[in-house]
Amino acid sequence: MSSLQEKVVLVTGGTSGIGEGCTELFARDGAKVVTMSIQAKEGEALAKRLTTEGHTCLFHYGDVSKEADVKAAVDLAVSRFGRLDGVHANAGLMRNQKITDLTLEDFYAMVNVNLLGPVLVAKYAIPVMERQGKGVLVMTTSVAADIGFPCHGIYCATKAGLVALIRSLTTDHSPKGVRFVGVSPGTIDTPMLAASCAGWSKPKEEIYADVARRIPVQRLGKPADIAHAVRFLMSDEAGFINGSIVNLEGGTLCLPPW
């Protein structure tokens, strides 16, 4: 089984949904985890719970769209643990609206979190990993990069931008030992998904059931589904996986258009 034992890992957006699932799995797998988000109460509670269980987890309050916050998170990992083996750039933001209803505030909010955030993570994590001669940077993209989701034009565009970013980073920095991989979740049962159901005529549970029936595996994804995949991608066993986007969507992309 792949393992992150004794590896130092930074997770952004690490206190809710997919990020929380990753933080918990990595810490329980033996990694030394720095988990970063703007959810102070949730972050402190998560780090305390994992530490009480005997695992290593530090919470860093920070906004991925702010350069100083990202640098501080990377510096924290290196100063406390001496290195940085893996980063999961996972923080994300979704706003539902057609382009004709778009406000510039919403545009910049999504671009700053979904695209600028991973760029800043890469800016500060890559030099550390290059000095080590080894490291892995995983980014959470989405099937939204491949599908024209209604009322999600900017969200889709930011996730497609991450795919291009991953490929460019691979050509620039992998010769010095750094790998880059994207994970592309489908419909995952998270607070973000629940929030996207607001305003619909059906209750959330009915929407979820309808969606689950359309997915070939007949269920929604769970944060743990993504966490297990990211754990493997960060492990030494995945050393030849580079510049790739791993779809984690239960077969959704295989469906015909009718």
Structure tokens at 84: 């940085």
CB contact burial 216-228 (16+ within 10 A = b; e otherwise): eeeebbebebbbb
Q: Is 107 helix (H, G, I), strand (E, B) or coil?
A: helix
Cβ atoms < 10 Å from Cβ of 45: 13
Which domain, by its residues, includes 207?
A: 188-220
Is 92 a member of any domain? yes
Which residue type occupies 24? E
Residues facing residue 139 across a β-bridge? 89, 182
Overall number of domains in the chain? 2
Considering the domain architecture, whether residues 28 and 90 belong to the same structural domain is answered as yes
Supply the pLDDT for residue 206.
Answer: 83
Considering the domain architecture, whether residues 96 and 25 belong to the same structural domain is answered as yes
Angle at 36 between CA 78 and CA 171, to 5 degrees: 65
Is 46 a member of any domain? yes
- pLDDT tens, the chain, 258 aa long: 568 999 999 999 999 999 999 999 999 999 999 999 999 999 999 999 999 999 999 999 999 999 999 999 999 999 999 999 999 999 999 998 899 999 999 999 999 999 999 999 999 999 999 999 999 999 999 999 999 888 889 999 999 999 999 999 999 999 999 999 999 999 999 887 777 777 677 887 888 888 899 999 999 999 999 999 999 999 999 999 999 999 999 999 998 877
In whole angstroms, what is the distance from residue 106 CA to residue 160 CA?
Answer: 18
Angle at 26 between CA 191 and CA 179, to 5 degrees: 100
Considering the domain architecture, whether residues 90 and 134 belong to the same structural domain is answered as yes
Rg (CA), the chain: 18
Count Cα neighbours of 232 within 13 Å in the Cβ-side half-sphere.
11
Read off the CATH number of the domain in which 78 is found. Answer: 3.40.50.720
In whole angstroms, what is the distance from residue 204 CA to residue 93 CA?
Answer: 20
Catalytic residue list: 155
Supply the pLDDT for residue 31.
Answer: 98
Structure tokens at 254: 């295989």
Is 204 a member of any domain? yes
Considering the domain architecture, whether residues 96 and 145 belong to the same structural domain is answered as yes
Q: Give the pTM.
A: 0.94
